[in-house]
Chain A
Amino acid sequence: MRFRKRLALASALALTVIAWLVWHTASPAPIRLGILHSTSGAMAFAESGMVDGEMLAIEEINQAGGLLGRQIEPVMADGKSDWPTFAAEAARLITQEKVSSIVGCWTSASRKTVKPVIEQYNHLLLYPMAYEGLEQSPNIVYTGAAPNQQVLPALKWGIDTLGPKVFLVGSDYVWPHSVNAIIKDQLKLLGGELVGEEYIFFGSDHVDQAVAAIKASAPDVIFSSVAGDSNAPFYKALRAAGLDAKIRPVVSFSIGEKELAVFDTLDLDGHYVAYNYFQSLDNPVNRAFVERYRARYGKDEVTNDATEAGYFSVYLWAQAVRDAGSDDVNLIRQAIRMQSFEAPEGIVSVDPTTQHTWRPVSIGRMNADRSLKVVWSASRPIRPIPYPSSRTPAEWDAFLATMYAGWQNNWSNPVER
């Protein structure tokens, strides 16, 4: 009798303790973060690096104990390199998946279609890709470079270093057209001269017309905003046309280590890329980052600007969640405006005025041995200026509206010329 009583008492006590433990250790619901990229289509190869960077950051944060005692649950969505699909997927992530925020998009065309959806739901998109600027939204944090953080320094460097005769080539959609407009505005102030301008249908390998135009205009430097799968045939055609990188160097705003790792290196040898991050940056934070990345994805994998931007974007967002003390998107939006992070490229900070990010910039030269040598770096992170001062914001908006209308309300030219 006495024994049974004690047994009952002990069981009750044990149950209480267990209940307490369960209550305290039961993992709360994870914080859902939308990952919106093309995992199929023409952009899939390029965007996969960004996805990898974002996933690495999520895994690292989760391993370190998560956010606010909760894990981050990435919710993947495939934009299929198709801009309306991006918008539909963004809407799905917000309304059905109930994500706290979204990290994603690469092409400006995809961002342009996603932007109204994000604004409609007063949500938050972190956009980790260098782009043309000319945009500012309270619902988007632009962690990729604005034109003054990539295009304009590269232009100045190209004119100073390679020569004043400039040829502009790009894919036929909103980003290359905007970038080239910005370049053309700045060109005369820097003493440069435009000798030609060509566009390649998005994702197409019909590059001959552009290559022929380059050959005909004999520029000192070619600035390329060719995006995605068109790059491999473009560089191959340049070499095939006998355009030596030594006399007709291309400064690309789109390709990087990832393409260098798989393209025919002879096609890329001697050409330049302008980016805010290079895998070869020599600092302890970057070395550790590259090591972790390779441990996670394979020892031959490379990191590039997109990977690193995706990576630190998740960290900036995570810090904002911590500061906000909540996964409520409005609180995160407020908190993310003042975040800084010691990223592999250096200190990155969100500028509260423009919601763009302070970033450094470098020019790298691609070599036949698949190495990328940094030939010039800005001494410190550059303040983001999304609207280049050559025109007023209103003028820039009008420029975009005209282009959009000209493409039958598309952000890329729907017709191959």
Chain B
Amino acid sequence: MNLSLPAQLGLHRLNPRTSIGGRLIAGFLLIALLSAGALGWMLYGVSSRSLEATYREKLNLVALRKSEALEAYANELLRSVRATGRTETMVAIVRELEAALAAGGPDSEAYLQLAERQRRALAPIAALYDFPEMVLVSGSGTVVLSLNPRLAGLEAGASITRGPLAGSELGGVFERVRTLLQEEISDYAIYPGMKDPAAFAAGPVMDDNSVAGMLLVQLSNAQIRSIVTESAGLGESGETMAGIRVGEEIALVAPLRHDAAAPFENRLPAAGDSALQRAVRGQHGYGIEPDYRGVESLQVWTFAPSFRWGLVIKQDTREAFALIDAQRRITIQLLALLILPVGLAAWLLARTVSRPIVLAAQAAAEVANGDLKLQPESNRNDEAGVLLRALATMVLNLRTLIGQVKRSSVQLTSTAAQLSYTACKQEASVADFSSSTSQIAAAVHEISATGQELVNTMADVARGIEDTAGLADAGRSSLTGLEETVTELATSTQGINARLQAITEQAHKIGGVILTISKVADQTNLLSLNAAIEAEKAGDYGHGFAVVAREIRRLADQTAVGALDIERMISDMQSAVGAGVRDMERFSEQVARGVEASADTNRQLERIIVQVEALTPRFAEVNHGMQSQALGAQQISSAMLQLREVAGATASSVDDLLEATRQTEESVDQLRLCVSKFRTEDADQSTAT
């Protein structure tokens, strides 16, 4: 039976990592920091993406604006060339100049005068459209007029297709216009004698019926560069790069914001995957990559078809993402600052939650250790309060139960003591009875021996009658001895009778004791039943006690059965004693008859002395009677033997009873030990019992 309550709750060994408080703090920190961190991280991602998308859109819009501005400029240029070139006036001018040139050459007075006149006519047009140079070429490719001749090969009379300009961008645009009969723009190129790169627009000079020649105008670099270098909306670091393919290289056509080298001085290979290289190849796209300075920037690249420029609109990533970087920094700082207050709040909250639980746990541990004195009280309205109040109720109930059990065990102890005392008394009685029986047996044996002796004496008497007829006096004295002996025998018989009466009385007393034992056993049985019911009420705590109660009941049952056995043996013994008494009474009667007969003998002896010869047959009768008496004595002896055996059995039954009583006492002791673990207010006086 496992009656000892193991005190293994180990409140003192609480691990801070697994305790409620520790876990609450960890949980709070985890939830607060994880959610704040995740939120910050996602916000950072979302803002990064949205900011990048915004910048991408902005750069795309700037690229679109610049492309459109370039296209608009190109269209305006082409329209002005067309408006100037496709007039009958211009056709006439070209034809007239061509004729003058053919007639007298470029140095003839006629041509020079005409050329001067036409220059004055064309100058306002050039000023109007901001053309630094206007050139008129005949249908065959001969320059007939140059407004502002600075370029080798554009002198009057020079051939565009065969002179120094053959194969140049200017020669190329001339060929295209001749083929397509539409206005065209040349690429930018460096021409000998010109500091700045130059580009030309060209268109046919024609009317509805014929093509007279061609008008070539130089583009205003200032106007077109302002489109490129204008950096509105590109912040402090943004700029536009414009590059054109020149052979296997790309030349930058406008100065850079961060590198003021002259146009066409900065060059990079045409092959490659940088934004400008892609743009010049006609690609369009967006990316974050290092620019020519090696600084990472957001770049949009596109292609301007009219000028065949690759355009890169870019802005430094650092400037664009400054806001996001600030946001990230603030988020991280905020997270770091959050740790302390959140931890503190978590600790405080964890304390309010875990303290009542720890209190309740301590109370429960004390109850588990058997201390029922404490009275956990709580006015709290939360779960911990409910727990503490439930614990208090449980302690109260347990205390009542233990008190009851203690009282019952005390009662039981006294009953067991009483039982033990009675059994001891019974044992003594049986021992007395046994010794009495032995005495009776000895007496009977003596009777038997005496009877034998009497027979022998009778025989001697019989023999002596013939021999000593004369010895009547001697015979009379012998008879007197006989009479005395018979009287003695009668007295002895009466003693036996009295002793048998005493046995009967003792057996009656034993019966009374057995009744008491039976009553005690019944009471014990009832008590143990009550104890079992109470133990059941106490639940797990009463389990040990229930076992005890069950054992007690079993002992009580055994006791009752033992008592019943004893009772039956006593009644057997009584009936045996009764039979002995009856035999003794019969023997007493015979003895009395013997005494009477010896008196008769004594009386007749005087006659015997006289008539000895006549007496002799009567001695045979006497002898016979003596024989019978010896037999009766032997019967008594055997009855006494039987009686002793019965007394032995009674003694062993009493031993059993004593053993049972001892076991009951032991069980009650154990029960008391168990219950003594529980300390109630009345514990001190009850443990003394």
> A-side interface residues toward B, CB under 8 Å?
148, 152-153, 156-157, 186, 188-190, 319, 323, 325, 338-343, 346-349, 351-353, 358, 378-383, 385, 389-390
Question: Are A342 and B181 in contact, with the CB atoms below 8 A?
Answer: no
5 extra A-B contacts, CB within 8 A, seeds A352-B71, A380-B176: A148-B180, A156-B179, A338-B284, A381-B305, A383-B182
Contact with A379, one of B57, B86, B175, B305 (Cβ below 8 angstroms): B175
Question: Are B181 and A186 in contact, with the CB atoms below 8 A?
Answer: yes
- Return A91 CB to nearest CB of chain B, in Å: 32
Question: Are B181 and A348 in contact, with the CB atoms below 8 A?
Answer: no
Question: Does B64 touch A at the CB level, under 8 Å?
Answer: yes
Question: Does B60 touch A at the CB level, under 8 Å?
Answer: yes
Residue of A nearest to B209 (CB): A188
Question: Are B180 and A153 in contact, with the CB atoms below 8 A?
Answer: yes
For A380, list chain B residues within 8 Å (CB): 176, 308
- Return A274 CB to nearest CB of chain B, in Å: 13
Question: Are B281 and A347 in contact, with the CB atoms below 8 A?
Answer: yes
Q: Among the interface residues A152, A189, A381, A383, which one has the most CB atoms of the partner chain B within 10 A? A: A383
Question: Are B305 and A152 in contact, with the CB atoms below 8 A?
Answer: no
A382 CA to B302 CA in the complex, in Å? 18
> B-side interface residues toward A, CB under 8 Å?
53, 57, 60, 63-64, 67-68, 71, 75, 82, 86, 172, 175-176, 179-182, 184, 206, 208-211, 281-285, 302-303, 305-306, 308
For B210, list chain A residues within 8 Å (CB): 188-189
Question: Are A347 and B172 in contact, with the CB atoms below 8 A?
Answer: no
Residue of A nearest to B300 (CB): A323
Which 4 pairs of residues, A with B, have the shortest CB-CB distance?
A347-B282, A349-B305, A340-B303, A342-B282
For A348, list chain B residues within 8 Å (CB): 282
- Given A189-B206, A352-B71, A379 contacting B176 (CB threshold 8 A): yes
- Return B63 CB to nearest CB of chain A, in Å: 8
- Return B279 CB to nearest CB of chain A, in Å: 9
- Return B609 CB to nearest CB of chain A, in Å: 119
For B181, list chain A residues within 8 Å (CB): 152, 156, 186, 189-190, 389
- Return B76 CB to nearest CB of chain A, in Å: 11
For A353, list chain B residues within 8 Å (CB): 71, 75
- Given A188-B209, A189-B206, A358-B305, A382 contacting B68 (CB threshold 8 A): no
For B184, list chain A residues within 8 Å (CB): 383
- Return B23 CB to nearest CB of chain A, in Å: 13
- Given A378-B176, A379-B175, A338 contacting B182 (CB threshold 8 A): no
Question: Are A340 and B172 in contact, with the CB atoms below 8 A?
Answer: no
30 contacts between A and B (CB under 8 A): A148-B180, A152-B181, A156-B180, A156-B181, A157-B179, A186-B181, A189-B209, A189-B210, A189-B211, A190-B181, A319-B284, A323-B60, A338-B68, A340-B283, A340-B302, A340-B303, A340-B305, A341-B284, A342-B282, A347-B281, A347-B305, A353-B75, A358-B305, A378-B176, A380-B308, A382-B180, A383-B305, A383-B306, A385-B182, A389-B181
Question: Are B302 and A338 in contact, with the CB atoms below 8 A?
Answer: yes
A325 CA to B181 CA in the complex, in Å? 40
Q: Among the interface residues A190, A319, A323, A382, which one has the most CB atoms of the partner chain B within 10 A? A: A323
A351 CA to B307 CA in the complex, in Å? 12
- Given A353-B71, A383-B305, A152 contacting B206 (CB threshold 8 A): no
A371 CA to B305 CA in the complex, in Å? 32
Residue of B nearest to A323 (CB): B60
- Given A340-B302, A353-B71, A389-B182, A379 contacting B64 (CB threshold 8 A): no
For A383, list chain B residues within 8 Å (CB): 182, 184, 305-306
For B75, list chain A residues within 8 Å (CB): 353
Residue of B nearest to A381 (CB): B305
A188 CA to B282 CA in the complex, in Å? 36
For B206, list chain A residues within 8 Å (CB): 189
Q: Among the interface residues A343, A346, A352, which one has the most CB atoms of the partner chain B within 10 A? A: A352
For A352, list chain B residues within 8 Å (CB): 67-68, 71
A25 CA to B323 CA in the complex, in Å? 30
Residue of A nearest to B203 (CB): A389
A349 CA to B68 CA in the complex, in Å? 13
A347 CA to B282 CA in the complex, in Å? 5
Contact with A342, one of B64, B82, B180, B281 (Cβ below 8 angstroms): B281
- Given A351-B71, A351-B305, A358-B305, A378 contacting B179 (CB threshold 8 A): yes
- Return B180 CB to nearest CB of chain A, in Å: 6
A24 CA to B180 CA in the complex, in Å? 54
Question: Are B67 and A338 in contact, with the CB atoms below 8 A?
Answer: yes
For A157, list chain B residues within 8 Å (CB): 179
For B306, list chain A residues within 8 Å (CB): 383
A325 CA to B283 CA in the complex, in Å? 18
For B284, list chain A residues within 8 Å (CB): 319, 323, 338-341
- Return A269 CB to nearest CB of chain B, in Å: 27
Contact with A153, one of B57, B86, B179, B302 (Cβ below 8 angstroms): B179
For A349, list chain B residues within 8 Å (CB): 282, 303, 305
- Given A189-B206, A353-B75, A379-B175, A341 contacting B282 (CB threshold 8 A): yes
Residue of B nearest to A358 (CB): B305
- Return B160 CB to nearest CB of chain A, in Å: 15
A379 CA to B71 CA in the complex, in Å? 20
Residue of A nearest to B211 (CB): A189
Residue of B nearest to A351 (CB): B305
- Return A195 CB to nearest CB of chain B, in Å: 20
A390 CA to B86 CA in the complex, in Å? 11
For A148, list chain B residues within 8 Å (CB): 180, 182
- Given A351-B305, A383-B305, A338 contacting B281 (CB threshold 8 A): no
A342 CA to B280 CA in the complex, in Å? 10
For B71, list chain A residues within 8 Å (CB): 351-353
A353 CA to B69 CA in the complex, in Å? 12
A349 CA to B64 CA in the complex, in Å? 13
Residue of B nearest to A186 (CB): B181
Contact with A338, one of B64, B176, B208 (Cβ below 8 angstroms): B64
- Return A369 CB to nearest CB of chain B, in Å: 30
Residue of A nearest to B86 (CB): A389
Q: Among the interface residues A338, A341, A342, A380, which one has the most CB atoms of the partner chain B within 10 A? A: A338
For A325, list chain B residues within 8 Å (CB): 53, 57
Q: Among the interface residues B86, B181, B208, B285, which one has the most CB atoms of the partner chain A within 10 A? A: B181
Residue of A nearest to B204 (CB): A189
Contact with A152, one of B57, B86, B180, B211 (Cβ below 8 angstroms): B180
For A323, list chain B residues within 8 Å (CB): 60, 284
Q: Among the interface residues B53, B67, B206, which one has the most CB atoms of the partner chain A within 10 A? A: B67
Question: Are A340 and B180 in contact, with the CB atoms below 8 A?
Answer: no
- Return A63 CB to nearest CB of chain B, in Å: 18
Contact with A347, one of B53, B176, B285, B303 (Cβ below 8 angstroms): B303
For B82, list chain A residues within 8 Å (CB): 389
For B63, list chain A residues within 8 Å (CB): 338
- Return A170 CB to nearest CB of chain B, in Å: 22
Contact with B283, one of A153, A156, A186, A342 (Cβ below 8 angstroms): A342
For A346, list chain B residues within 8 Å (CB): 282
Question: Are A379 and B172 in contact, with the CB atoms below 8 A?
Answer: yes
A348 CA to B303 CA in the complex, in Å? 10
A379 CA to B168 CA in the complex, in Å? 12
Residue of B nearest to A376 (CB): B179
For B60, list chain A residues within 8 Å (CB): 323
A156 CA to B306 CA in the complex, in Å? 23
A349 CA to B285 CA in the complex, in Å? 14
A186 CA to B179 CA in the complex, in Å? 11
A215 CA to B211 CA in the complex, in Å? 32
Contact with A340, one of B64, B182, B282 (Cβ below 8 angstroms): B282
A153 CA to B180 CA in the complex, in Å? 6
A338 CA to B300 CA in the complex, in Å? 13
For A385, list chain B residues within 8 Å (CB): 182
For B180, list chain A residues within 8 Å (CB): 148, 152-153, 156, 382
Residue of B nearest to A390 (CB): B208
Residue of A nearest to B75 (CB): A353
For B281, list chain A residues within 8 Å (CB): 342, 347
For A152, list chain B residues within 8 Å (CB): 180-181
Residue of B nearest to A285 (CB): B281
